[in-house]
Amino acid sequence: MARLGTIERPARKTHPLSTPPGIGGRDLLSLHDLTPKEVEFLLNLGRLVKGHPDRYAHALEGRELALLFEKPSLRTRVTFEFAMTEAGGKCITLGPQEVGLGKREAVKDVALNLSRWVDVVMARVFSHESLKEFAEHASIPVINGLSDFEHPCQALGDYMTLLEHKDHLAGLTLAFVGDGNNVAHSLIYGATQLGVRIRVATPIGHEPSAAVVAEAKFEGGDVYLTDDPAEAVADADAVYTDVWTSMGQEAEAEARALVFRPYQVNSALMNKARPDAVFMHCLPARRGQEVTDDVIDSVHSIVYDQAENRLHIEKAILLSLLS
């Protein structure tokens, strides 16, 4: 798989910030688009805007964000809307009824139209290929709010949260248990950029993309794949899981539940991690499936910190893209 490209574009308006330049004018389709320094910059900016929100209350005045949804959303919609408006910008939300990428209207035409009206687009889509096509034709930055291949904003918020709880990232061990999906791909890329060891436990046939793993290892990432969840979790600093059936896979739910049942994160599995290990989940969670109540509701769970930090990291992304 070739590295996903980014398109350099001048912003339509200028609004200097009190922060150094980050990833201004570019797309954020994949964490692999960013350098380690750029990832660290975003994490630090996310923590800064979280601690000093008033400092950025007018930073995006005169800027407009379009949120484009093919999939339902709670966290992505709420956090991006508030991230933009709390920084002084404006936001419009478009669902599948208004847009219909590639159905009601060609992807290219949607991109060209929105480029005339707004300064940045966040798209939450089924197909990563349609997202890349959209970005190819847009003359404004495009943010991946979730695709079938990656979920970069989620992973950035996750690593910001882990940094808050552990005070450092390099040298930590993150265990991901479940489906080698879009979240797993972004976590693997992020782990490589931040010096985090990542162990991924999946049923055979449900591993993360071999190309993603190969790229991460080529770039020095410490990535280990196994089909044994206990092996992955042993002495881990953080244990992460996600739903067994992603949106668009509903017809497979019953079969997947049988395959993934041994990969449930319960107290017995968590006890194999370090005593101070944290539990992580991107949400929504299917309680009683991939995670039990006693784990997600425990003092070790930081899932709602992850959800909160989506707001702050997305504000950092918008500030950086539009600076």
Annotated active-site residue in 119, 242, 264, 281: 242
**Percent of residues, the chain, with pLDDT higher than 70:** 93
**Is residue 137 over pLDDT 80?**
yes
Bridge pairing between strands 120-124 and 90-94: unpaired
Tell me if residue 197 is catalytic. Answer: no
Q: What's the pLDDT at 18?
A: 36
Higher-pLDDT residue of 273 and 9 is 273
**For all residues of the chain together, what is the average pLDDT?**
92
Angle between helices 36-51 and 152-166 (to 10 degrees): 70
**Is residue 12 over pLDDT 80?**
no
Banded pLDDT at 316 (limits 50, 70, 90): very high
Q: What's the pLDDT at 23?
A: 77
Task: Tell me the pLDDT tens digit for each residue of 87-126.
Answer: 999 999 999 878 778 788 899 999 999 999 999 999 999 9
Give the residue-averaged pLDDT of 273-298: 98
Annotated active-site residue in 119, 282, 300, 306: 282
Tell me if residue 242 is catalytic. Answer: yes
Q: What's the pLDDT at 254?
A: 87
Phi, psi values for residue 67, rounded to 5°: -100, 120
Tell me if residue 91 is catalytic. Answer: no
Task: Tell me the pLDDT tens digit for each residue of 92-102.
Answer: 999 987 877 87
| DSSP sequence for 66-132 | EEEESS--SHHHHHHHHHHHHTT-EEEEE-TTT--BTTTB-HHHHHHHHHHH-SEEEEE-S-HHHHH
Tell me if residue 137 is catalytic. Answer: no
Q: What's the pLDDT at 250?
A: 77
Tell me if residue 289 is catalytic. Answer: no
Q: What's the pLDDT at 22?
A: 58
Task: Tell me the pLDDT tens digit for each residue of 200-225.
Answer: 999 999 999 999 999 999 999 999 99
Domains and CATH numbers, the chain: 31-151+310-321 (3.40.50.1370), 154-306 (3.40.50.1370)
Low-confidence winner among 70-84, 247-261, 289-303 (lowest mean pLDDT): 247-261
Burial of 16 (0-12, 13-18, 19+ CB in 10 A): exposed
**Is residue 322 over pLDDT 70?**
yes
Annotated active-site residue in 151, 199, 300, 312: 151
CB 147 within 8 A of CB 125: yes
Tell me if residue 310 is catalytic. Answer: yes
